[in-house]
Amino acid sequence: MRSILTFIVLGAVGVLVVAGCGGGGSSSSGSSGGGGGDFASGAEAACTKANKAIVALGTPQQEQVTQYLEATEAVIETLHKEVAALDASGSAETAYVEGLATAIPELTKMSNAARNENFDAVRELSAALVEIKLGELAEAAKLKSCAEVPVSES
Amino acid sequence: MRRLRVLLLASGAITLLASVGVAWATTGATTGYPQPKVAVPATIQAPFEDRYVLTAVGSGAGIRSGEMKFEFEEGSSPQFLVGISQFYTYGPTGEIETSLFTFYPPKELAGGKGLGFTVLKVGASAQYGQLTEDGELRLFTPEGDKVKGELRLHGGGPWPVEFKVLDDDERYAGSPPPAKQIHESEPSKTGWGGEPSEYEGEYELTNGAEDPTAKAGTLGAAIGVAQGLGVKGAVVSSGSMKVEGNPPVATVDLETGGTDRTFTLTDLAWQADLRVAQVHNEGPDSPPVGRFEGTGGQGLVKGDLVSGHSVYKVEFQLK
């Protein structure tokens, strides 16, 4: 089971790395084109890929939480890089990008706590992620895919 | 001389501790323990040379789970066993802490009932490598892959303990399953009430909280996973329960942070307003992963559902 999760995690991160390269290409065209429309389409595409990668991680068992959080951290980092490379034109778009940036160190803390098997701390630290209200920020920036919560079937 | 003995013990313990969760070899990890003053025949000790997982413990000991192994001190003559354990204990405020113990020296229990060991606590906050006497572990003659015994710690006990011998390829990697908590006044009546009609049927969760993932976008999944962790009570946003069958089994569906979880409760028992059950993650035939303990009566059941490191505080009302 652990090896399967590791495989999925590596696969998800691999997809993101490839996706990240592709995202970089589209962001350069977005930058050259400028305008909120390019940001929206680029961000929506990046969020769709990120959501798919997170869904692919499934629901971890207790002993898989560290790997799960590390993989999620990698997904959000890639998402942030892709979206930050786009041309955010309004305050709502900027706030969304900042929300992603705020989430990364919080995910790092959660991964560290999971590594130490301090699961209460993982839970308590997640309150900081809740506070970001990333879904609301995405809605304000009219980013439908980014506002969606990825739901795993497993 | 006493100083030298303490140093030797500490050295042996450190070497042994380094092997916990890494090697779990059946031989070769214990070194540095001095020859005991009283020798126990190797034939009496040999049945205990094994790796174990804690399966049941008196609730007063405050131990959630644990692993243990005994092996013969390398190169000892006459041979003697040394034990090492890693117990996960409930701290004063409910958090889980790791406690390390070694068991030395062995002594034969009266009447050939088994082996006893002095429990040596490995200090974390005291001097590096310090060992202090902290109680006694008595292990009775193994029956199949089960070993029962008694444990005294920190001046308390004795509490009953039960261990299961691990197969060579069985590993818990530092995350042993929760042991059954043996309560002094364990409810003995089957079911959750005098008549099945009092407790069988469909229940609804009445203490659901707002879903913390609802406005979290892409971060929602990670929040959902995190909110299902911890011993202080995970946030449950919705749920239901169905109790049926003979013997009765409860199927509990909970949503925590956007993640759906299903638990099966078996061995439902009651006494006065106390309600308890074993918790399983993958159906009634899967190994128990925790325990439900709460109160109930008149169509209400509420309490803590423990699954691994997670505790779900639930209140159900019969529809």
Buried b (16+ CB within 10 A) or exposed e, B276-303: bbbbbbeebeeebbbbbbbebeeebbeb
- Beta carbons of B205 and B254 less than 8 angstroms apart: yes
- Beta carbons of A152 and B225 less than 8 angstroms apart: no
Query: Of the residues B182, B216, B250, which one is the last residue of a structural domain?
Result: B182
Query: Of the residues B154, B182, B210, which one is the last residue of a structural domain?
Result: B182
For position A43, what pLDDT does the model report?
Answer: 96
Whole-model pTM: value is 0.46
Residue B115 has pLDDT above 80, yes or no: yes
> Do B26 and B94 lie in a common domain?
yes
Task: Read off the CATH number of the domain in which B66 is found.
Answer: 2.40.128
Cβ contacts of residue B204 below 8 Å, gap of 6+? B239, B240, B316, B317, B319
**Is beta strand B180-182 parallel, antiparallel or unpaired with respect to B156-165?**
unpaired
B175 vs A contacts (CB less than 8 Å): 62-63, 117
For A135, the closest of B217, B226, B308 (CB atoms) is: B217
Residue A19: pLDDT band (50, 70, 90) is very low
- Beta carbons of B10 and B100 less than 8 angstroms apart: no
Q: Most confidently modeled of A134-148, B92-106, B117-131, B184-198?
A: A134-148
CB distance from B217 to chain A under 8 Å?
A: yes
Residue B187: pLDDT band (50, 70, 90) is confident
- Min mean pLDDT across A11-15, A145-149, B149-153, B255-259 is at A11-15
Residue B127 has pLDDT above 70, yes or no: no
For position B258, what pLDDT does the model report?
Answer: 65
Q: Per-residue pLDDT tens for B50-107?
A: 999 999 998 878 898 999 999 999 888 899 999 999 999 876 555 678 888 999 999 9
Q: Mean pLDDT across the stretch A97-105?
A: 96
* Helical H segments across chain B, by residue range: 2-19, 42-45, 196-199, 220-227
Selected residue with higher pLDDT from B43 and B271 = B43
Residue A24 has pLDDT above 50, yes or no: no
Interface contact flag, B226 A122, Cβ < 8 Å: yes
For position B1, what pLDDT does the model report?
Answer: 43
> Do B161 and B32 lie in a common domain?
yes
> Do B20 and B139 lie in a common domain?
yes
> Do B158 and B219 lie in a common domain?
no
Interface contact flag, A51 B310, Cβ < 8 Å: no
Q: Mean pLDDT across the stretch A36-56?
A: 91
Residue A27 has pLDDT above 50, yes or no: no
Interface test with B, best of A78, A111, A126, A144 (most B CBs within 10 A): A126
Residue A53 has pLDDT above 60, yes or no: yes
DSSP B258: T
> Do B201 and B178 lie in a common domain?
no
Q: Mean pLDDT across the stretch B301-305?
A: 90
Buried b (16+ CB within 10 A) or exposed e, B244-260: eeeebbbbbebbbbbbe
Cβ contacts of residue B82 below 8 Å, gap of 6+? B12, B16, B30, B33, B70, B71, B72, B73, B102, B103, B104
Residue B196 has pLDDT above 50, yes or no: yes
For position B74, what pLDDT does the model report?
Answer: 85
B69 closest CA partner among B131, B19, B32, B115: B19
Q: Mean pLDDT across the stretch B146-156?
A: 89
B29 closest CA partner among B39, B38, B21, B19: B19
What tokens were used for B150?
């008694």
The complex's ipTM?
A: 0.76
Selected residue with higher pLDDT from A31 and B251 = B251
Query: Of the residues B155, B182, B209, which one is the last residue of a structural domain?
Result: B182
> Do B200 and B216 lie in a common domain?
yes
> Do B156 and B49 lie in a common domain?
yes
> Do B29 and B146 lie in a common domain?
yes
Q: Most confidently modeled of A3-17, A65-79, B9-23, B63-77?
A: A65-79
The total domain count for chain B is 2
Q: Per-residue pLDDT tens for B218-229?
A: 999 999 888 877
Residue B14 has pLDDT above 70, yes or no: no
> Do B167 and B211 lie in a common domain?
no
Interface contact flag, A123 B234, Cβ < 8 Å: yes
Residue B128: pLDDT band (50, 70, 90) is low
> Do B38 and B163 lie in a common domain?
yes
Selected residue with higher pLDDT from B297 and B20 = B297
Selected residue with higher pLDDT from B89 and B47 = B47
> Do B217 and B127 lie in a common domain?
no
Residue B246 has pLDDT above 50, yes or no: yes
CB distance from A64 to chain B under 8 Å?
A: no
> Do B200 and B154 lie in a common domain?
no
Interface contact flag, B220 A149, Cβ < 8 Å: yes
For position A72, what pLDDT does the model report?
Answer: 96
Beta bridge partners of B138: B116, B150
Query: How much of chain A, in percent, has pLDDT values that exceed 70?
Result: 75
For position B232, what pLDDT does the model report?
Answer: 58
Q: Most confidently modeled of B44-58, B154-168, B176-190?
A: B44-58
Query: What range does the domain containing B220 cover?
Result: 189-318
